[in-house]
Structure 1
Amino acid sequence: MVVVVTSVIAVLGTLLGAALSHLLQSRTTARSERFARGERLRQERIDAYCAFGGAMANYRRGQMDYWYPRHDGRTDDPADLHELRREAQRLRAVAMEAMFRVELLTDAPALPELARRALEAVDGIPAADDRDELEIARNASRTLIHEFITASRPHVRLP
């Protein structure tokens, strides 16, 4: 009888150990998967936020490249202006694509709003009638781009 009780206790102990081991391994695996998923999202956000900032800087430069020849009379060739305008439009499309990535990856409602405001500010650069208005538009767009980057920083920091 003692042998049977000892055997039953040994079997129960083995089963309990196996069940506990399985439970702990499952928790560890789930935790590792959550961490890996969070890290991938963090890296994608870093890429998206940086791409948006860079695309906006390029779009801003393209808008100014279009503004100067129109207002300073540096070109008499309408084809040159047309080409500069097309380049600014291409850069805007790149900036919008980057903005869409930001909107898809962020949980913070303020970031897409800041991105849209920055895009609108850069869109307004060609509407400046003189250098003073251009300077105001340039400063506003630069400020909004930097505000976006500053606001995105907490969303990519390690917890």
Structure 2
Amino acid sequence: MEAIIASAIAVLGTLLGSGVTFAFQQRVADRGQEFTRSEKLRQERLDAYTSYAGALVNFRRTLVHLWFCTYARTDEQTYEDPGPVAMRSYELRSSAQEALFRLQMLTGDEALSARAQALFDEVGVVHKTESREEFQSRRDSTREGIAGLVGAAKRQL
């Protein structure tokens, strides 16, 4: 009888050990999957944030160029026709807006999303002034805004 009880205890111990091992392995696997998911999301956010910042810089650069083509003319100098530059700015605006949408879909930070939208709007009017002083102010503000957005996105990653 003692042999049967000893065998039953050994079988129960083995089953209990197997159950604990399974539960432990399942937790390790779940943690591994969660880490993989979070790392993939981090990489996607990094790509979205850098793509948006790059698209915004290109859009801004073209609008600055457009301002110079439109308002910085003198009688002695010949400048580039603003028409093609304006067309290029529309293309870059679309690219920046697509990148903005991707950022907004991937970020979990509503403040960052709102900041990105506000910066897009601010960049979009950088060239809409005849005053050189106001243009320079907008130019500086958007440059600082892009740098600030990159800093805020970096902290989120």
TM (normalized to structure 2)? 0.92
Shift of 1:60: 0.4
**Unmatched 5+ stretches in structure 2:** none
* 2:132 alignment partner in structure 1: 131
Runs (4+) of structure 1 exceeding 2 A deviation are 72-76
* 2:41 alignment partner in structure 1: 41
Are 1:21 and 2:21 an aligned pair? Answer: yes
Aligned residues: 153
Distance in 1 (alpha carbons) for counterparts of 2:33 and 2:43? 15
Is the CA contact (8 Å cut-off) linking 1:59 and 1:91 kept in structure 2?
yes
TM (normalized to structure 1)? 0.91
Is the CA contact (8 Å cut-off) linking 1:114 and 1:147 kept in structure 2?
no
Are 1:70 and 2:70 an aligned pair? Answer: yes
Is the CA contact (8 Å cut-off) linking 1:52 and 1:95 kept in structure 2?
yes
Are 1:8 and 2:11 an aligned pair? Answer: no
Distance in 2 (alpha carbons) for counterparts of 1:108 and 1:93? 23
What is the RMSD of the two structures over their aligned residues, measured on CA atoms?
Answer: 1.3
Measured against aligned partners, the alpha-carbon deviations of 1:35-81 in whole angstroms (never above 9, x if no partner) come to: 111111111111111111111110000111111111123447xxx42
* 2:51 alignment partner in structure 1: 51
**Unmatched 5+ stretches in structure 1:** none
What does residue range 109-124 of structure 1 map to in structure 2 within 5 Å? 109-124=110-125
Report the secondary structure of 2:127's partner residue. Answer: helix
